[in-house]
Structure 1
């Protein structure tokens, strides 16, 4: 059996996962549930990263045997789907929209960024996830409603939401990496000296001009806002 894979693990069946409720088990009621297993996995991922989430670790957290978990999540891939949808329940899906689709999309993007920063494992998880659950679908529904004033067809709306989510996910990954780098001041100073030397060597005039431009606010929030504005304001709905 592959490491951390349940019996017969061949990928996630979305119908079985999301449309068919977990059947009650005979005998004594178990002391844990699919929701408890998912919450334990999320807690582990938040604290230690996705690599810490194994069926064995999660079983230990809920006080269950590893094999008993397979009735609720037959493999780690399924558990990851459950985790992503579980935390997606934190995203507001019913707040009123303004009718200004660009402003509403920017609000959605900021909500996504805050959400991913709370759960730093999400960008990695989203890159491999394929089956949106009920909480994810509720937030997607809100995003599609925000895009209704554009008059775009459904496929284009889905593409824009995918593009927006990919942008936020990539930017959050960059933010997390930069935050880790700033904890090493020697590395940051070395990188600054390197760029100054390269800009002064005469072989990179465009870079030298760019580095000599007036500085801008470099807080994570200000940088994200600039990038987001360029993305949303540049969208063509013709």
Structure 2
């Protein structure tokens, strides 16, 4: 089968990907491990963004031939799965739970946000695929355990965790985008001036009221995230 660096196939059987030993599927054993290759890809994505991660570029980073990488990841989609699961090993899965499922779920959401901010490529990656690696499943198990006191059925707990993860990913993507926009002070000043004019034109009274209220709120990103997280979690129905 012809392989391309940007293949969207990602058709590897999860049993082969996650259950097999760390060895190439055929031929002589290369002088590289799957973990080392994945670590190099993560470092590249952290530094330059996910678009910089190609099979050829990762091979160059580890000093391997491209064909050696295909023994471990047949395409970029599989490599992304490996990357997501490896960084998921950074998430806490054994910390004590309080038994207050809403409080514990908020802690999990904060952990996810901090994790995604460390790896800004993650929000887009996790929303585009379902990764079933051991680290990912360990964190999922931790979240489902935290939700058990809610009394919800397992399927509902899965849905809540998916809802939380989607919210955190979207919020971090917004934060990262806003941080980049803030690097252009001229653009920020122009936008502020424009919104002030719109608020004063009399045609947008609701927006004017909202902007006036926002002016008095602290601009701390942690406080903003906590407000949004509280609204989400406290609004969940445990019935």
Distance in 2 (CA, whole Å) between partners of 1:200 and 1:27 is 71
Aligned residue runs from structure 1 range 162-181, under 5 A: 162-181=162-181
Number of residues of Structure 1 aligned to a counterpart in Structure 2? 237
Q: Which residue is equivalent to 1:207?
A: 207
TM-score by length of 2: 0.94
SS at match of 1:210: helix
Q: Which moved more, 1:52-61 or 1:12-21?
A: 12-21
Q: Which residue is equivalent to 1:35?
A: 35
Distance in 1 (CA, whole Å) between partners of 2:168 and 2:136 is 16
Q: Which residue is equivalent to 2:72?
A: 72
Distance in 2 (CA, whole Å) between partners of 1:23 and 1:209 is 61
Q: Which residue is equivalent to 2:103?
A: 103
Q: Which residue is equivalent to 2:130?
A: 130
Distance apart, 1:29 and its partner CA = 4.8
C-alpha contact (below 8 Å) 1:109/1:165 kept by paired residues: yes
Q: Which residue is equivalent to 1:50?
A: 50
C-alpha contact (below 8 Å) 2:10/2:78 kept by paired residues: no
- Show CA shifts across 1:73-126 (max 9, x none): 010010000000000000111111011111100110010000000000000111
Structure 1 residue 145 corresponds to structure 2 residue 145:
yes
Give 5+ residue unaligned stretches, structure 2: none
Distance apart, 1:4 and its partner CA = 0.7
Structure 1 moving runs of 4+ over 3 Å: 22-29
Distance apart, 1:11 and its partner CA = 1.9
Q: Which moved more, 1:132-141 or 1:23-32?
A: 23-32
C-alpha contact (below 8 Å) 2:85/2:131 kept by paired residues: no
* Counterparts in 2 of 1:70 and 1:5: CA distance versus 1, 3 Å: farther
Distance apart, 1:137 and its partner CA = 0.4
Distance apart, 1:194 and its partner CA = 0.8
- Show CA shifts across 1:204-232 (max 9, x none): 11111112226111111011011011111
Distance in 2 (CA, whole Å) between partners of 1:52 and 1:83 is 14
Distance in 2 (CA, whole Å) between partners of 1:196 and 1:119 is 35
Distance apart, 1:131 and its partner CA = 2.8
SS at match of 2:181: helix
- Show CA shifts across 1:137-164 (max 9, x none): 0000010000000110011000000000
SS at match of 1:96: coil
Q: Which residue is equivalent to 1:13?
A: 13
Structure 1 residue 235 corresponds to structure 2 residue 233:
no
